[in-house]
Amino acid sequence: MKYNDVILQTVTKFISFLIFLFAIYIFFNGHQEPGGGFIGGLMTSAALVLLLLAFDMETVRRAMPIDYKTMIAIGLVFGVGTGVGSFFFSTPFLSQTFGYFHFPVLGELELTTTLAFDLGVYLTVVGATMTIIQTIGEDK
């Protein structure tokens, strides 16, 4: 029997986009509201998993040619990098700071070095979960 999952695929195209947006929102908002790198990363993987469910592994890989193992490494480099970066300012490992800056279009924004660290968490979480799921999924 030949079956057709056009509804699933169509819905996924729309929904996964929303989940992505929500994940990014949660990630950037983490410093002030509930959220952060960890949960943002998990949500991003959820969106990717939805794509994997609706389409097959090859299609997703063609659409997004990402090596998730490299992503783990990049995430860890971000994490360690912010720590090492604080050495340049003669402060202890992983010292964080923040400040308010004025941007041309966006107006005044709070920028903090923890964002880089959180980005490391985010990338690692996405990389790790996707590596696990892809590896298990591909296993025959």
Partner 1 sequence: MFTILHLAIIAPFLAAVLVPLLYKFIPRIHTGWFVLIVPIVLFSYFLTYLPDVSGTGSVIKTFEWIPSLGINYVAYVDGLGLLFALLITGIGALVVLYSIYYLNKHKEQLNNFYTYLMLFMGAMLGLTLSDNLIVLYTFWEITSISSFLLISYWYTKEKSRYGALKSLLITFIGGFALLVGFVLIASVTGTYSIRGILDASDQLAASPLFLPAMLLILLGAFTKSAQFPFHIWLPDAMEAPTPVSAYLHSATMVKAGIYLVARLTPLFAVSAYWFWLVTGFGLLTLIWGSLSAIRQTDLKGILAYSTVSQLGMILSMLGAGAAALHYDSVDNNAYTVAVAAAIFHLINHATYKGSLFMMAGIIDHETGTRDIRRLGGLMTLMPISFTIAVIGGFSMAGLPPFNGFLSKEMFFMSMVEITHFSQYGMGSIGLLLPIVAWTASIFTFVYCMILVFRTFTGKLQEEKLPAKPHEAPFGMLLAPLILVALVVVFGFFPNTLVPAIIEPAMASIMPELAQTGSFGVDIYFWHGFSPELFMTIGVVLLGTIIFLVLQKWSSIYAVFPDNRLFNQTYNRFLEGIERTSYTVISWHMTGLVRDYFIYIFSFTVVLLLFSLFGTGAFAIDTANMVPVTPYEAVLSLVLVGSSLILMFTRSRLKAVISLGVLGYTVALFFVLFRAPDLALTQLTIETVSVTLFLLCFYHFPQIFDALKETKFHAANLVISVAVGLTVTLIGLSASGTRLFPAISDYFLENSYKEAGGNNVVNVILVDFRGFDTLLEILVLGIASLGVYSLIKLRLAGGENK
Instruction: Give residues 82-121 in contact with partner 1 (rule: CB under 8 A).
Output: 83, 93-94, 96, 98-99, 110, 112, 114, 117-118, 120-121
Q: Which of 11, 69, 84, 101 binds partner 1 (CB under 8 A)?
A: 69
**C-alpha 90 chain-centroid distance:** 31
CA–CA gap between residue 44 and residue 65 (Å, rounded): 16
Residue 111 host element (H or E): strand 107-112
Q: Within a 13 Å sphere around the CA of 44, how many CA atoms are in the beta-carbon half?
A: 24
Positions that interact with partner 1 (CB under 8 A): 30-39, 42-43, 46, 69, 72-73, 75-76, 79-80, 83, 93-94, 96, 98-99, 110, 112, 114, 117-118, 120-121, 124-125, 127-129, 131-132, 135-136, 139
